[in-house]
A and B are shown apart, each in its own frame.
Chain A
Amino acid sequence: MAKEMIAMLLAGGQGSRLYALTQKLAKPAVPFGGKYRIIDFPLSNCVNSGIDTVGILTQYQPLVLNEYIGNGQPWDLDRLYGGVHVLPPYQQASGSDWYKGTANAIYQNISFIERYNPQYVIILSGDQICKQDYSDFLRFHKEKGAEFSVAVMEVPWDEASRFGLMVADENDKITEFQEKPKNPKSNLASMGIYIFNWDILRKYLVEDEQDPNSENDFGNNIIPNLLRDGRNMYAYHFDGYWKDVGTISSLWEANMEVLDPEHSGINLFDENWKIYSRNSGMTGHRISADAVVEDSMITDGCRIAGEVKHSILFAGVQVETGAVVEDAVVMGGTVIKAGAVVKHCIVAENAVIGENAVVGAMPTETEKGVATVGPGVYVGEGAKIGPNAMVYNNVKGGEVQ
């Protein structure tokens, strides 16, 4: 039995700019939005779009991700035929190799795709926050009679040169591709989400692999090759919420946007497009009599006795009496001890912020840094972590800039 379309999700990224957060886990496994991890978004999009077969390509620090995905049940992806499969590089008769690039990762899994004999393959990225209906994208792809389609977002012209840009005609047919150009001819940025006809993808992957000079990358090699051969290529306009959370500040910002769905456009409260995740299984959160909670998102297992303003708290976070949390993202299991002040920052999982310690500071005209405390870090009593600091080892006391 053939599947019409299956998804291949690129989740091998190290996320090196998230350094303190990605020492022991791949970027797609980074927690987001109170009870999710980044990968919940593409996985939930798949299920909500009717895609029931997903290959997840992992490479960097896959342990957390593997355990998190498990049999795929939280996303309803535990299927008899299809479902979710984690695909690390493996040894083959011809030898073994790490995934050399995005295209090579798919190339090494051609036999996985062939088990389902799909007509179309959608290539997804595991490091974006986006709610998108892939079935509408596929409808576009079929209507245009395309062999390759790419989802694009309009970006402001003055930022366009930071992106891979698609130049398209009035029928959305792509005529040119510019990778981070100095003089952009278009403001349609590639979201790194592609639909291929499988026979075309297969042909170009095999050819690309035979080219010793290729970087085996979709953006640098496959797409230029398709253009060179005059293939039917189309740009699909997406105008919903999309964010590449590749840096600490963009990750912090995206979390803050979750707090303001009315304006930011990222609505996690949508009954018709639920984002699924593996549940903490903790009991409801407690807010004690002298606590203050304003404009925040709080989830199961939290215990709040202090002050929480405009922040996102993940499962099991404790905020003790007299502690202040503001404009902060505090991940699961972290304890903010009495009198500690945590502002404008990201504190990763299972950290302890000691009594009267200070982490981060509200932004000023000149200083807008988002302080970061890595997972499991102990910040000692009275210690001070400056707004630009990224801490991944225990801090006994004193000041860290």
Chain B
Amino acid sequence: MINSNVNALGIIFPNSYDNLVPELVTERLMASIPFAGRYRMVDFILSSMVNCGIDNISLIVRKNYHSLMDHLGSGREWDLTRKNGGLNIVPPFAEKSVKVYDGRVEALASILTFLKSQKEKYVVMTDTNIAVNFDFNAFIEAHIESGADVTMVYAEQEIPKALIEVPTESRDMYYTLDLDGERVKRIRINSKDAGVKNLGMNIFVLERELLIDQIGTAYVHGNIYFERDVLAHQLDKLNVHAFKYDGYFARISGMKSYFDENMKLLDDENLDGLFAKSPIYTKIRDDNPTRYIAGAKAKNTMTADGCVIEGEVENSILFRGVRVGKGAKVKNCVLMQDTVIEDGADVEYVITDKKVTITAGKEVKGTNSYQVFVAKNKVV
């Protein structure tokens, strides 16, 4: 196979929408939130890019990025240990910036020198709060064919309640698009409108030269946000196109949606929608296969390697290395890496972060509308 897309470089913003799931990002960022049994959110977009031949990828991190660096390492698992390009993690103050960035414009301004020295014609940019097996080739082809200056991806959906409910001052903005054919006529910011909208997925493509030009100007004018300050204001000058995505995706917009999006993967159709198209890569842990000991019962579950199940598990997602002891009951739960449910414990509607222990005989129960969350390393 010939690399079809060496002509685009990727930029990922791993901290976007951190504030939607404060419980999950105390020691990490959106990109490194565990999802779907053995992955981190960043794996989906990173693998999608790699699968489309994009192998020069920069991640502009803002804070709490230790777990992401640990996860990505040299990028080997994503085939990104390249002599040219490869994986490039840009921490704050790495280049010119004098403060931690707020918006995309500031983030991109800090790597302008880098951008100028690259040779790819196009740039694709994304966040990591959406897990999606995305075909960047089709996206870039559509962009080139349409002759647009910028193309952005949207999905037809209702605006998730969680997005609307987050207090304005502490939220990353979301955008809905008014369209005329494929042309974006208006970009609405933080709309509270009900009904199905064209909700932006924050995936963009444009020429590198144009990006450098726009960011240079915007930064000088003290602008912060790419969508609000660069795109929305210039829809008359810039030909901004919209690209509809109608495949499967999981958008994390709050704790409830984190739980729901995990649970949705218990439906094989959804699971295939996310994974069947092309492989999703992640860090290898060299776990042994999962072991079901006599007396174990499992119904409607997705379980990663390295688990030992002696109790009962139903309607649950188990990450790598989870232990469920004798007589323990696990129902409607998302149990992250190395969670231990000791003998006889009974958990229902619980999300456990990494390395949580629920001690023997304990009962922990949430409800379908409000799950109990147990923070990393906690013992209950």
Interface positions of A from 248 to 285, Cβ below 8 Å from B: 259, 268-269, 274-277, 279, 281, 283-285
Q: Does A38 contact B (CB under 8 A)?
A: no
Q: A284-B38, A284-B302, A286-B268 are in contact. Are A298 and B288 (CB under 8 A)?
A: no
Instruction: Check A208 for interface membership: any CB of B closer than 8 A.
Output: no
Asked whether A287 lies within 8 Å of B305 as measured between CB atoms, the reply is no
The answer to whether A286 and B36 touch across the interface, beta carbons within 8 angstroms, is no
Which chain B positions have C-beta within 8 A of A283? 36-39, 271, 275, 280, 302
- Min CB gap B346→A, angstroms: 20
B193 on interface, CB distance cutoff 8 Å: no
**B256-278 residues at the A interface, CB under 8 angstroms:** 266, 268, 271, 275
Q: Decide if B281 is an interface residue (CB 8 Å cutoff).
A: yes
Among B120-128, B230-238, B293-301, the one that faces the other chain is B293-301
User: Contact between B288 and A296 (Cβ–Cβ < 8 Å)?
Assistant: no
Tell me if B246 counts as interface (CB < 8 A to partner A): no
Question: What CA separation (Å) do A74 and B291 show in the bound complex?
Answer: 22
Given B301, B305, B317, which contacts A35 in the complex, CB threshold below 8 Å?
A: B305
Tell me the complex Cα distance, A294–B294, Å. Answer: 6
In the complex the two chains form, is B289's CB within 8 Å of A35's CB? Answer: yes
Tally the A-B contacts, defined by beta carbons under 8 Å.
97
Q: A281-B279, A281-B281, A303-B268 are in contact. Are A286 and B302 (CB under 8 A)?
A: yes
Q: Given A274-B286, A297-B289, A297-B291, is A286 in contact with B301 using a C-beta cutoff of 8 Å?
A: yes
Judge if B228 is at the interface, Cβ distance under 8 Å. Answer: no
A284 contacts B298, CB within 8 Å?
no
Interface size on A, residues (CB 8 A): 34
In the complex, the answer to whether A287 meets B289 with C-beta atoms within 8 Å is no
A177 to B92, CA, bound (A): 68
How distant is B131 from chain A, measured CB to nearest CB, in Å? Answer: 12
- Rounded to whole Å, the gap between the CB of B280 and the closest CB of chain A is 7
Chain A residues lying within 8 Å of B301, measured Cβ to Cβ, are 286-287
A126 at the interface (CB under 8 A from B): no
- The interface on chain B, measured as residues whose beta carbon lies within 8 A of the other chain's beta carbons, has a size of 35
B171 to chain A, nearest CB (A): 31
Query: In this complex, what residue of A is CB-closest to B302?
Result: A284
Please report which residues of chain B, range 285-322, place their CB below 8 angstroms from some CB of chain A when the two chains form the complex. 286, 288-294, 296-305, 308, 317-318
Residues of B within 8 A of A28 (CB): none
Kindly identify, within residues 287 to 311 of chain A, every residue whose CB is under 8 Å from any CB belonging to chain B. Answer: 287-291, 293-300, 303
Would you call A88 an interface residue if the criterion is a C-beta within 8 Å of the partner chain's C-beta atoms?
A: no
Task: Mark contacts of B163-194 with chain A using CB atoms, 8 A cut-off: 1 yes-contact digit, 0 otherwise.
Answer: 00000000000000000000000000000000
**Cross-chain contact A298 with B289 (CB below 8 angstroms):** yes
Answer whether residue B197 sits at the interface, using C-beta atoms and an 8 A cutoff: no
Interface string of B34-75 (1 = CB under 8 A from A): 001111000000000000000000000000000000000000
How far apart are B313's CB and chain A's nearest CB, in angstroms? 8
Q: For the complex, what is the distance from the CA of A231 to the CA of B286, rounded to whole Å?
A: 42
* Contacting residues, chain B, for A393 (C-beta < 8 A): none
Q: Is B251 an interface residue (CB 8 A)?
A: no
Q: State whether A269 and B286 are in contact (beta carbons under 8 Å apart), knowing that A286-B268, A291-B299 are contacts in the complex.
A: no
* CB 8 Å contact bits of A345-373 with B (1 = contact, 0 = none): 00000000000000000000000000000
Q: Are B303 and A287 in contact (CB under 8 A)?
A: yes
Residues of B within 8 A of A35 (CB): 288-289, 305
Known: A35-B289, A299-B289, A299-B290. A285 touches B296 (CB 8 A): no
B-chain residues with CB within 8 Å of residue A276 when the two chains form the complex: 286
Q: Are A284 and B286 within 8 A (Cβ)? A: no
In the assembled complex, the Cα of A70 lies from the Cα of B288 at a distance in Å of 21
A293/B302 in contact, CB under 8 A? no
A269 contacts B291, CB within 8 Å? yes
B186 to chain A, nearest CB (A): 39
8 A Cβ contacts from A93-119 to B: none
- With A284-B37, A284-B318 known as contacts, the answer to whether A298 contacts B281 (CB < 8 A) is no
- Residues of A contacting B288 with CB < 8 Å? 33-35, 268-269, 275, 297
- Roughly how many angstroms separate A313 CA and B268 CA in the complex, as a whole number? 19
What is the CB-to-nearest-CB distance from A219 to chain B, in angstroms, rounded to a whole number? 33
User: Is B220 an interface position by the 8 A CB rule?
Assistant: no
Partner of B299, one of A34, A268, A287, A294: A287
B36 pairs with A284, CB closer than 8 A:
yes
Please tell me which one of the listed residues B271, B291, B293, B294 contacts residue A286 in the complex, with CB atoms under 8 A apart. B271
Q: Which residues of B contact A285 (CB under 8 A)?
A: 290, 302-304
The answer to whether A298 touches B268, judged by C-beta atoms less than 8 angstroms apart, is: no
Task: Choose one: B275, B284, B291, B298; the contact of A287 (CB below 8 Å).
Answer: B298
The yes or no answer to A214 lying at the interface (CB within 8 A) is no
A residues in contact with B317, CB < 8 Å: 284
Q: Is A73 an interface residue (CB 8 A)?
A: yes
Residues on the A chain within 8 Å of B280, using CB: 283
Nearest chain-A residue to B76 (Cβ)? Answer: A73
Which residue among A34, A269, A288, A293 has the maximum number of chain B CB atoms within 10 Å of its CB?
A293
A-B contact pairs, 8 of them (CB 8 A): A281-B281, A283-B39, A284-B302, A286-B271, A288-B299, A293-B298, A300-B304, A303-B268
* 14 new A-B contacts at CB < 8 Å, known A284-B37, A287-B303: A35-B289, A74-B286, A275-B286, A281-B279, A284-B303, A285-B304, A286-B268, A287-B302, A288-B299, A293-B298, A294-B294, A297-B292, A298-B290, A303-B268
Interface residues of B (CB under 8 A from A): 36-39, 76, 266, 268, 271, 275, 279-282, 284, 286, 288-294, 296-305, 308, 317-318
Q: Which 4 pairs, one residue from A and one from B, show the smallest C-beta to C-beta distance?
A: A284-B37, A34-B289, A299-B289, A284-B304
Q: Which residues of A contact B (CB under 8 A)?
A: 33-35, 73-74, 259, 268-269, 274-277, 279, 281, 283-291, 293-300, 303, 312-313
